[in-house]
Structure 1
Amino acid sequence: MIDAATDGGGMEVIMNKFIFSYPTKVYFGEGSAQQAFAAELGRIGETVMLAYGSGSVKKNGVYDEIKLLLEGAGKKIVDFSGIMPNPTYAKAQEGAALARNEHVDFILAVGGGSVIDCCKVISAQAMLDGDIWDMEYGKGKFPTAGIPMGAVVTASGTGAEMNAGAVITYEEKKWKGPVFGTGATFAVLDPAYTKSVPPMQVLSGAFDTLSHAMETYLGTSDQDNVSDDLALAVMRNTVVNMRRLLADINDMQARSNLMWDSAMAENGILKCGRLTDFQAHQIEHQLGAYTDCNHGQGLAVIHPAYYRHIVKDAPEKFTRFAKVVFNADTAEAGVEALAGFITECGLPTKMSQLKSTVEITPEVLRQVADTCNIIKCNPRELGREEIYEILTECL
């Protein structure tokens, strides 16, 4: 007889019912853009919004390559540039207005998670009469249609190309969180496109991947759950390949592995049949609403402090994490191994090391704690005072 897993309170935990769909077609590997466009051009509209960030895609030649492929197929291109890290709600509204005015019928996001997230909201907002934020957070409804879009990933880590969820900063409301738009019908994952990304950005993105897998794993799951095994494998592989990049930042095999780790962590497979614990993400998102710190680096600062608070609430899971991912013996040793790994990677370990133009003070952290979303699931629901305590431990 196999003992049933419990939720810690004696109640049996079984896998939740779910429907799984994988709508994004992935073209992976060097030169995959040409393969993708050869297959997808017939389904791409005549007027394409080519969306990107600060212009690095122009410097590294990716923009010219994609533009040539589109123009060669007779597509009209509408440029939309300047999408910033931590994309703002105002920028998404600007893009939606441009898409409507130019009668855009396809959006191609070329960049990292920020560009892709912004385009998801642009896609849905452009086809709505009302305001998408009011729709989702006021009426509790979500868009059912959007301008079709694709993604060419140039900086991996967020897995944004794998789903319809976007993280947007609404500056006027001092809020950063999810807005659900339109997912990409296809995604180009060419590791060669990440070559020009600064080393610290590569590592920050990879830590975001690690965080996605960790926070999914620490949610509620039944015993011997396949998603737990997959999450642990993604975590271990991410750590292994981050260490390879520390030895050689130009290791393309390691970059390839990390790019697929990123996609696997957010394509929904790890989340099937369970609730997830994304409390650290919620805290960091709201930190990003009050500052302009890098997302992956903010997560690196918050995670060890958060895990020290909850390690005793999920001892079996933390112990397995410790053994599989870091070859450590105990739950607590696994948390400290994670903290040591963050230091090994040169990622920030304190708020003072985050490159924010806004000074991170106890008063700012009080506002973050008082406004961040609280996840009501495993391992344990936090209160606002404990969130503030976690944040101040990171100063």
Structure 2
Amino acid sequence: MNNFIFQNATKVYFGKGCVKEYLACLTKNANTILLAYGGGSIKRNGVYDEITGILKEAGKTIVEFSGIMSNPTYAKVQEGAKLARENHADMILAVGGGSAMDCCKAVSLATRYDGDIWDDFWAQPGVIDFEPLPLGVVVTVAGTGSECNGGAVITNEEKKVKTGRDYPALNPRFALMDPAYTFSVPKKQMASGSFDILSHIMETYFSEPNEDNVSDDIMEALMESVIRNLRIAMENPEDYTARSNLMWDSTMAENRLIKMGKKCDFECHNMEHQLGAYTNCNHGCGLAVIHPVYYRHVYKEGLPKFVRFAENVWGIARDGKTDEELALTGIDALADFIKALGLPTTLKELGVDKAQLKEIADSCGISQGSYKPMTHEEILEIFQECYE
């Protein structure tokens, strides 16, 4: 394996009833809490009432920061930072999925920084040499794994750029993860979020080294788990075992552990981020469209790994197939799984304007970890093949 340093500062409280059991003690040193959430689903499913009840009983002042969108914008980050400063918040509590968590990591930084965090920390890597506002999270959607890292994907609407950075200083102090909180997530959102989990794992798996390493072995087990448990949860959304496994799969995919010793690709994420910046499409749905087509472009350069993927993740027997045939059969299995989930398979289904494809392709970042380094011309070819 390659050299690495591993660190994860987030303390996880996982399981049924964990919010009731631990939230009060975890917020005991904060008098004023910025309570952040999205479009209001937590008010319909009872999570909001449970959390605010616990905080009010503990005598906390609650400042609400709501309406965080699925692709959080820099303008929304600035709105949250202004609220936190004006109300002298001692802590942020983000309740929701990756969008709420990502937005609030950026808010925690912006609240205590006088400059422009986009220019200094997102447009380019920066150095955080001060203490961001403490952040805790309550996870209600499995998908991004944002609860156990310092990563935050933010969209700058003015510049039409969607990008992410991972700063260990932005790791949440704690993550409360009750799988029962995910029961009310609509099936389509569960499918797209779970595909994001699978994508995170694949983007790491399909990269060097190809030699035997622990990270690849863990990832094969995780991919099998996502596929198996998502099939069960699609049939029975309140299967606690399946939902708890998906929730922990999500965390394991993005708590940095599986990335140890790996180059990582994430070209599909680069491409989808720019699709999102231009069209505001659903992240998991965009990834579902791109992945099979992208892999048909790069599999020859990473052939041994794609053979392993077919055999070890999808259980495909060789039966006289050449390595290339076996690799392509594995990619076909991935495409069939996407269709079975009811996820979109074309950019046209996502409402993308074909006339924008070149502009979007030209704006995409180029991954240094891909088996086959992309050009903007090849990215455009992939988008065109994805269109219909």
User: Could you say whether these structures have the same fold, taking a TM-score greater than 0.5 normalized by the shorter chain as the test?
Assistant: yes
Cα deviation, residue 221, structure 1:
2.0
Q: Is contact 2:102–2:152 with CA below 8 Å preserved after alignment?
A: yes
- Counterparts of 2:54 and 2:122 in 1: how far apart (Å)? 39
Query: 2:352 aligned with 1:367, yes or no?
Result: no
The residue aligned with 1:337 is 333
Cα deviation, residue 142, structure 1:
3.0
Query: 2:346 aligned with 1:350, yes or no?
Result: yes
- Counterparts of 1:153 and 1:84 in 2: how far apart (Å)? 16
Cα deviation, residue 249, structure 1:
2.5
TM-score, normalising length: structure 2:
0.94
What SS does structure 1 have at the residue aligned with 2:143?
Answer: coil
Cα deviation, residue 139, structure 1:
6.4
Query: 2:53 aligned with 1:68, yes or no?
Result: yes
What SS does structure 2 have at the residue aligned with 1:187?
Answer: strand
Structure 1: gaps (5+ residues): 1-14
Query: 2:153 aligned with 1:157, yes or no?
Result: no
Moved more, 162-171 or 359-368: 359-368
Q: Deviations over 1:105-146 (max 9, x none)?
A: 100000110000000000001100101111125664232321
What SS does structure 1 have at the residue aligned with 2:71?
Answer: coil
**C-alpha root-mean-square deviation of aligned residues, in Å?**
1.3
Cα deviation, residue 213, structure 1:
0.5
Query: 2:219 aligned with 1:223, yes or no?
Result: no
The residue aligned with 2:321 is none
Would the alpha carbon gap of residues 25 and 375 (structure 1) be closer, same or farther in structure 2, given more than 3 Å must change?
Answer: same
Query: 2:80 aligned with 1:84, yes or no?
Result: no
Q: Which amino acid aligns with 1:117?
A: D
Q: Is contact 2:192–2:284 with CA below 8 Å preserved after alignment?
A: yes
Q: Is contact 2:24–2:58 with CA below 8 Å preserved after alignment?
A: no
> Which of 232, 244, 256 pairs up with 1:244?
232
- Counterparts of 2:374 and 2:125 in 1: how far apart (Å)? 24
Query: 2:279 aligned with 1:294, yes or no?
Result: no
What SS does structure 2 have at the residue aligned with 1:220?
Answer: coil
> Which of 274, 298, 312 pairs up with 1:324?
312
Deviation above 6 Å: which 4+ runs of structure 1?
none
What SS does structure 1 have at the residue aligned with 2:19?
Answer: helix
Query: 2:235 aligned with 1:234, yes or no?
Result: no
- Counterparts of 1:143 and 1:300 in 2: how far apart (Å)? 34
- Counterparts of 1:170 and 1:125 in 2: how far apart (Å)? 15
Q: Deviations over 1:191-236 (max 9, x none)?
A: 1111111110001100000000011111212521000000111111
Q: Which amino acid aligns with 1:82?
A: G
Q: Which amino acid aligns with 1:81?
A: S
What SS does structure 2 have at the residue aligned with 1:109?
Answer: strand
- Counterparts of 2:124 and 2:12 in 1: how far apart (Å)? 34
The residue aligned with 2:19 is 33
Aligned pair count reads: 376
Q: Is contact 1:142–1:180 with CA below 8 Å preserved after alignment?
A: no
- Counterparts of 2:113 and 2:139 in 1: how far apart (Å)? 27
The residue aligned with 2:323 is none
The residue aligned with 1:391 is 383
The residue aligned with 2:370 is 378
The residue aligned with 1:20 is 6
Q: Which amino acid aligns with 2:373?
A: E
Q: Deviations over 1:163-198 (max 9, x none)?
A: 111001100000001144622111011111111111
> Which of 52, 56, 60 pairs up with 2:37?
52
Q: Is contact 2:34–2:62 with CA below 8 Å preserved after alignment?
A: yes
The residue aligned with 1:201 is 189
Q: Which amino acid aligns with 2:342?
A: G
Q: Which amino acid aligns with 2:344?
A: P
The residue aligned with 2:126 is 141
Q: Which amino acid aligns with 2:6?
A: F
What is the percent sequence identity of the aligned residues? Answer: 53
The residue aligned with 1:176 is 162
- Counterparts of 1:19 and 1:346 in 2: how far apart (Å)? 39
- Counterparts of 1:282 and 1:29 in 2: how far apart (Å)? 33
Would the alpha carbon gap of residues 248 and 137 (structure 1) be closer, same or farther in structure 2, given more than 3 Å must change?
Answer: closer
Q: Which amino acid aligns with 2:255?
A: N
Would the alpha carbon gap of residues 229 and 186 (structure 1) be closer, same or farther in structure 2, given more than 3 Å must change?
Answer: same
Moved more, 121-130 or 321-330: 321-330
Moved more, 248-257 or 259-268: 248-257
Would the alpha carbon gap of residues 122 and 240 (structure 1) be closer, same or farther in structure 2, given more than 3 Å must change?
Answer: same
The residue aligned with 2:256 is 268
Structure 2: gaps (5+ residues): 319-325
Q: Is contact 2:38–2:67 with CA below 8 Å preserved after alignment?
A: yes
Q: Is contact 2:183–2:237 with CA below 8 Å preserved after alignment?
A: no
Query: 2:124 aligned with 1:124, yes or no?
Result: no
What SS does structure 1 have at the residue aligned with 2:100?
Answer: helix
Q: Deviations over 1:246-278 (max 9, x none)?
A: 322222211111000000000011001221010
Q: Deviations over 1:260-300 (max 9, x none)?
A: 00000000110012210100011000000000211001000
What SS does structure 2 have at the residue aligned with 1:301?
Answer: helix
TM-score, normalising length: structure 1:
0.93
